[in-house]
Structure formats: structure tokens, C-alpha cells
Amino acid sequence: MTDLRPLAWPPAPIKTERLILRESEARDRAAVIELNASPEVGTYLGGPRPRAELERTVPEVPGRRPGFFVVELDGTTIGTIQLDPQDPERPGNRLEAGETELGYLFLPEAWGYGYATEACTAALDWFADALPGEPVVLYTQTANVRSMRLAEKLGFSELERFTAYGAEQWFGVLHKIPGWQSAATSCKDREWPSATSVARTTTS
């Protein structure tokens, strides 16, 4: 299991063209609850969680762990990005393909502006600099069209599709080279290859 704990954490806030990525703080609690209670956000993630339960269980400072980034736009929290060890309990997981898994949750009002692409690219750049050569894997439902498009823009290559939780799941991997030109700076101007057309990367 890739252990992110030895990494210098938190990093200095990462500034992109429009966003700031930083470690979580107490002021992010409301947004974290909103993300998990939102029916739109939860559509392909097993559904929203009851708000009352979240109010009870979300810690005062949520997501205090290496690899958990809060994404801020003009002082407002709009989403979170997680680089976590793969869950060994996940049905159909492919632990051998890479030990670190990317996850992302953005508030619906922040969808459609390229913020997720911009923020995930910065987080993946940070990860590639911190652990050069270490792959990152991604699971998403194929029905989650926005997430599928994001995976493609980020450069993930499809390894497999399988059924779990009663739905088709997409499993991909990214081997990012440190210093690789960020997709976020140019994704509006480029023709991106489809994830399935990118040469398949061997698992290791």
C-alpha cells in the first residue's frame, strides 16, 4: 500500500490559474457535508448520505489526511480531491494496478467550468513530483458521463470495465511523468485522445 504519510504534508497551498488546493480546515466542514448529502453528487456514488448523520459524524476538521485536498475558488470551497490508498474491500478492485486511487467531489454549481480538470491536474502533478513513477488508479461508473470525460482529459487509460454495485464500472490508470505539461492549461484547445484509444499501460 502506498503510504502517503511520509510525504511532506500539508504542502504549501497549490495555486492554479483560478483555484487554490490546500489541506482541509474547520471552515470546510459545511461544504464536505453538502458534498456528501447532495443527491446530484451522490448519483453514481451510491446515493446521498443523510444530512443528520453527516452532521453527527463528520469531524470538526474533515479529511485531515495526506492526499485530501480542498479546492477553493475565490475563498469558497467548491470541492475535494482525494489521493487515497485503494480500498482492499472494494468489490472487483484491482490492487495490483496501482496503490493510490484518485477521487473527486465537486458541488453541482461548480460543474461545467473546468474546475475539476484544473484542480485534479494540479493534484496529480503534486503526486507525480512527490512519488515519481507511482501510478494512480481511478474507478468510476461508465454512466457517470462527466466523470468519464474528466478521466479522459486527465490522461487515464482504460484497463478494464466490470460490473459491481449493479452497474458497469470503469477502471483506469495514469502514469504521470513529473513536469508533464498540465492538461488544465490547454484542455480547451486540444483534441484529447479517448481513454480507450490510449495505448494500454501494463499493470504492475
Q: Of the two residues 146 and 175, which places its CB atom closer to ligand COA in the complex?
A: 146
Count of residues that bind ligand COA according to CB under 6 A = 22
What is the pairing mode between strands 136-141 and 100-106? Answer: parallel
- Residues 90 to 149 in contact with ligand COA, rule: CB under 6 A: 103-106, 111-117, 140, 144, 146-147
Q: Please, which residue, 42 or 66, has the CB nearer to ligand COA?
A: 42
Q: Which residue type does 163 have?
A: T
Residue 35 Cβ, how far from ligand COA at the closest point, in Å? 8
Query: Among 41, 122, 137, 183, which residue interacts with ligand COA (rule: CB under 6 A)?
Result: 41
User: Residue 144, Cα to own-chain centre: how many angstroms?
Assistant: 14
Q: Which one, of 103, 116, 172, lies nearest residue 142 by Cα?
A: 172
Q: Using an 8 Å Cβ cutoff, are 68 and 123 in contact?
A: no
Nearer to ligand COA, 44 or 127 (CB): 44
Beta carbon of residue 2, minimum distance to ligand COA (angstroms, whole number): 18
**Under 8 Å between Cβ of 95 and 133:** no
Q: Could you tell me which stretch among 22-30, 37-45, 49-57, 166-174 binds ligand COA (CB under 6 A)?
A: 37-45
Query: Vertex 48, ends 50 and 137: CA angle to 5°?
Result: 130
Interaction between residue 150 and ligand COA (CB under 6 A): yes
The DSSP secondary-structure symbol of 71 reads E
**Of 60 and 188, CB closest to ligand COA:** 188
Considering the complex, state which of residue 9 and residue 111 has its C-beta at the smaller distance from ligand COA. 111
The side-by-side arrangement of strands in the sheet containing 100-106 is 14-15, 20-22, 68-73, 76-85, 100-106, 136-141, 167-174, 157-164
List the beta bridge partners of residue 6.
none
The residue number with the shortest CB distance to ligand COA is 114
| Positions that interact with ligand COA (CB under 6 A) | 41, 44-45, 103-106, 111-117, 140, 144, 146-147, 150, 153, 187-188
